[in-house]
Amino acid sequence: MTECLFCKIVEGKIPATRVHEDETCVGFLDIHPQAPLHALFVPRRHLATVNEATAEDRALLGHLMVTAAKVAKAKGLADAGYRLVLNTNRDAGQTVFHLHLHLLGGRPLGWPPG
């Protein structure tokens, strides 16, 4: 997926401020943050949306959530609270079509969102 922005970030072809990296995913700061901490967690393997995920991707999806929670805890957000968001397709606000989990925290987050 050579034209995918997030694939290029994962490959190191585009710089990003990384907050996490392992064999399964990369976490980096959003360039248009909506909270004091706004990080994105993307799988190294390209999936355009969660609609492409299969039963074999359960571990990958769980890994993204557990990883985001670890980063939230390390950044001191666990007790105050944070939000994890996974947008799917345009009407939900997805603008980069590489599955990504948003971690938002560091300020009170209203409800309902959007």
Residue 13, helix vs strand vs coil: coil
Is-catalytic flag, 100?
yes
Q: Which is the catalytic residue, given 32, 46, 98, 100?
A: 100
What does the angle CA 83 – CA 30 – CA 13 come to, to the nearest 5 degrees? Answer: 140
Cα–Cα distance measured from residue 50 to residue 65, given in angstroms and rounded to the nearest whole number: 13
Indicate which residues carry an active-site annotation: 100
